[in-house]
Chains A and B, each alone.
Chain A
Amino acid sequence: MMEEEKNIAVKDSSKSPTKEVIMEIKDLYKSFSGHKVLNGFHMKLHKGENLVVMGKSGSGKSVMIKCLVGLIQPDTGYISVMGKEIKNLDRETLDELRSDIGFLFQGSALYDSMTVRENLEFPLRRHKEKFGKQTDTKALVVEALENVGLAHTIDLMPEELSGGMKRRIALARTLILRPKIILYDEPTSGLDPITSKEIIELMRNIQSKYGTSSLIITHDVDCARVISDRMILLVDGINYAEGTYAQLSQSKDPKIEAFFKK
C-alpha cells in the first residue's frame, strides 16, 4: 500500500506560492437553527497556493466553501475574493467574479438531462465573452475534455459514465472558464484509491498548467499529503491548527493526531 502511495510524488515545495492574497475569510460565523457550524473561521489563500482544509464530517467545511461563492449567506464575517467583498456585490458582479472561481462539487453535480458536451457548454452561455465572441465553443469543450483525458465521452450522457469519469468531466467543466481559483469539495470522496490518485494527479497537472490557486476541502489524508502547500484543521467551526503537512502530521496533539491516523 505504501509503495502504491509513493507513486504520486509529493508536491514540489520549490515552486512556492506568492504572498499575494487572492482569497480571504475573517471571523466567519454561520449557524443553522441555533446549531453553530462556523464559529469564527478565518483563512487566507495566496496566489498559486494549494490550501487544504481538513475536518471531520459536519465540521463546517462544505458550508465554508459555499459561503465563499455566495451559495450560503454567512451570519457574520468578511469574505473577500480577488479584492472584492462578496456580500457587497450585486448579482451581476458576483456572477462575473464566479467565472474566475471554479467549483468542483462533491458529487460532481453534472446536469443529468444534458450530454457531456452540453454540460461543458453550459458555463459558456453566460461567460463566453471572456474568450471573445468569435471563440469556437466546440474547441474549448474538446480542449477541456482532453485535459482530463475524456475527449471520447463528448456525446455521452452522465448516466453512462463511471463515478471517476463523472468527477473528471466535472473537473473539465470547472476548467472551461479558465478560473484563477478552484474550490474542490471532497474531490476524492466516494472514489476507489486508483481513481482517487488519478484525480489528484489531474489536480496537480491543472495547477501546474494554468497556475491556479486551489482551496481543497477533504478528509483524505493522502490527498492532503500530495497536494497541499499548507493545511488548516477545522474543528468545531474554528481553525484548530495550521501548518504544512509535515508539521501537522508530526504533532502530538491528540485532536491533530486523530486526523493522520490510518
Chain B
Amino acid sequence: MNFKTPKKIRQWLIEIGELSYFAARFFKEALRPPYEFNEFLRQCYQIGYRSLSLVLVTGFIIGLVLDLQSRPTMIQFGAVSWMPNMVGISIVRELGPVITALVCAGRISSGIGAELGSMRVTEQIDAMEVSGTNPFKFLVVTRVMASVMMLPLLVVVSDALALFGSALVENIEGNVSFQLYFNTVFEVLTYTDIIPATIKTFFFGFAIGIVGCYKGFYSKKGTAGVGIAANTAVVMASLLLFVIDFVAVFISNIFYDV
C-alpha cells in the first residue's frame, strides 16, 4: 500500500520534531558555563516588569467580570454566599494561570519572535557567533529562563488582582467586607488547588519562551519572515498552552484524586 502523509501533516510533524530538538538544545546549553547572568536579569526586567501593567489590568478585569457575570445565577440558586469560594477556586486553579499565560504569549512570545527574527535577518546573530559568543546561550537560554522564572510571579500578581476585582464587586453589590471575602477565599483554597496550578505556570513560561525563541531564531524570508515569526509564535505558543493545561489537569487529577 502506498501511503503518503499529507504535506501539511508532514510539515507539522517536522515542526514538532525541530521544536523538540531546539528544546533539548536549550537544556544542554543552559547547564553548561559560561552563564549569561546579566543578560538573564535584563530579560527578567523585559519579560517580567514590562508585562506587569498588562497582567495587572487583565487580572483585575477578569475577577471583576467573572463576579459580575456569575452573581445573578448564584443569586437564583441562593448560593451567593459561595461567590468567594467559586471565584477563588476558578481564578487560582484555572483562569488566572491560563489567561495570564495567553496574554503573555501574545506579548512575550511575539516580542521574542520578532526581536530574534529581526536579529537573524539583519545578521546580528551571525555577528554574535563570529565574535565568539554563543548566540543560543546569550539569546535563547536567557530569554527562556527569564520567561520560566517570571511567568509564575506574573500569575500570582494576576490572581491577586483578579481576587481583588471580585472582592470589590462583592463589597459594592453584596456588602461583603474585604476581610470576610479574603478569609473565605483562603479557607476554601487548599494545597491541591495551589500546587498544581503553580507548577503548570513554569511549563507555561517555558512554552512561551521556547516557542518565541524557536520561531525567531530560525526566521527566514527577509523582513516578511519577521512578521511570520512573530505571528506563528503566538499561535503555536497559545496552542501549546492549552495542551499543557490539559495534560497538567489530567495529571493533577490522578495525583490529587479530585
Residues of A near any B CB (own CB < 8 A):
66, 69, 71, 91, 95-96, 98-99, 101, 103, 105-107, 109-113, 122-123, 125-127, 173, 177
Contact = CB atoms under 8 A, between A and B. Distances in A.
Nearest to B125: A109
B69 interface: no
B133 A71 contact: no
B122 A123 contact: no
B127 A103 contact: yes
Interface of B: 115, 118-119, 122-124, 126-134
A95 B127 contact: no
B131 A109 contact: no
B126 A71 contact: yes
A126 B132 contact: yes
B130 A69 contact: yes
Contacts of B122: 107, 109, 112
Contacts of A91: 134
Contacts of A125: 133
Contacts, number: 50
25 contacts: A71-B130, A96-B132, A98-B130, A99-B132, A101-B130, A103-B127, A106-B123, A107-B123, A109-B123, A109-B124, A110-B124, A111-B119, A111-B124, A112-B118, A112-B119, A112-B122, A112-B124, A122-B128, A122-B131, A122-B133, A123-B132, A125-B133, A126-B132, A127-B131, A173-B131
A173 B126 CA distance: 14
Contacts of A99: 132
Contacts of A71: 126, 129-130
Contacts of A103: 127, 130
A125 B128 CA distance: 11
A94 B75 CA distance: 71
A127 B132 contact: yes
Residue in B119, B122, B128, B131 whose Cβ sees the most chain A Cβ within 10 Å: B131
Contact of A126 (B115, B127, B131): B131
